[in-house]
């Protein structure tokens, strides 16, 4: 299944006999909370999902900024939003697609087979918005973790040595020139810089599959035995996993990402433009 959907196709499906469940995952790193923006206008029928509170567990020492949520708690959130095992789901956000991709990845990881991201997010929806907050019927989705690849720190380190591990953060953070959030700057030794900005065009839509394939081939991912992705805290990395899927390359996510790796002083850190 194509992991993205255009606004035109979403409008058509929403008016059809089997409309998708819509999840609004507007979010920005460091706040403020974007529930007010949702209440001021959202796609008809969309349910707001809070990334920090519902798509992540509370931060813990050594766990990173956005640990994966407890699967049962995540399942309860999805059921309240109307998600069932067989219902199509479309997720969108109001920015770069990172938050929507996090929800997409979590649903895929927990076994949902029919979930897509609105390509271009809210800005691509040139139709009427609503302020009506829906109360959907309870869904029946029950998470079964393991649907897609997940890495811990040790597995990410091994993949950086023996496969291809892509760093989805901005290049200056990869190099260690700046680090505005985490304890130390730099990257996992052996990881390859691949900022998420290279996945999309100027309007925030994903590049055509052929262009993404060319990009990831140049980075060594197309011929690798295994591919993994990390970012700052497992949010933008999900966007890269989605882009890789568009290119036909399966990839695992290191969900703890740099916020977890850099919190452990025993983990090695590389700096500069090269992987090592």
Annotated catalytic residues are 231
**SS3 of residue 241 by DSSP:** helix
Helix boundaries (H) for the chain: 7-14, 35-40, 51-54, 71-80, 98-109, 153-162, 171-175, 209-218, 236-246, 257-261
Of 241, 179, 190, 186, the closest CA to residue 216 belongs to 241
DSSP label at residue 200: B
- The SS3 call for residue 116 is strand
Q: Residue 144 half-sphere exposure, CB side, CA atoms within 13 Å?
A: 7
Nearest to 146 by CA among 108, 101, 102: 108
- Residue 252's contacts (CB-CB under 8 Å, 6 or more residues apart) are 148, 149, 150, 151, 155, 159, 226, 227, 228, 229, 241
Neighbouring C-alpha atoms within 13 Å toward the C-beta of 119: 21
Reduce the DSSP state of residue 109 to 3 states and report it: helix
- Sheet with 4-5, edge to edge strand ranges: 4-5, 115-118, 89-92, 21-24, 47-48
């Amino acid at each position: 299944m194509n992991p993205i959907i255009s606004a035109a196709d979403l409008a058509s499906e929403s008016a059809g006999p089997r409309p998708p469940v819509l999840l609004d995952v507007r979010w920005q790193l460091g706040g403020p909370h974007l529930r007010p923006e949702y209440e001021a206008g959202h796609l008809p029928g969309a349910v707001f999902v809070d990334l920090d509170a519902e798509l992540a567990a509370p931060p813990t020492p050594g766990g990173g900024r956005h640990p994966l949520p407890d699967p049962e708690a995540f399942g309860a959130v999805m059921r309240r939003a109307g998600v069932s095992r067989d219902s199509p789901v479309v997720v969108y956000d109001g920015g770069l697609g990172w938050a929507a991709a996090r929800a997409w990845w979590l649903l895929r990881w927990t076994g949902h087979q029919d979930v897509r991201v609105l390509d271009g997010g809210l800005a691509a929806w040139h139709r009427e918005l609503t302020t009506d907050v829906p109360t959907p019927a309870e869904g029946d989705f029950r998470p079964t973790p393991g649907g897609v690849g997940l890495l811990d720190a040790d597995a990410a380190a091994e993949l950086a040595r023996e496969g291809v591990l892509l760093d989805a953060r901005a290049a200056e953070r990869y190099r260690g020139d700046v680090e505005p959030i985490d304890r130390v700057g730099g990257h996992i030794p052996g990881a390859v810089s691949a900022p998420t900005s290279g996945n999309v065009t100027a309007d925030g839509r994903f590049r055509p599959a052929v262009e993404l394939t060319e990009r990831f081939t140049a980075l060594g991912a197309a011929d690798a035995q295994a591919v993994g992705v990390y970012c700052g805290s497992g949010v933008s990395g999900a966007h890269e996993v989605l882009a890789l899927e568009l290119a036909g390359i399966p990839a695992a996510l290191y969900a703890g990402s740099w916020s977890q790796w850099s919190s452990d002083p025993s983990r090695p850190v590389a700096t500069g433009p090269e992987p090592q």
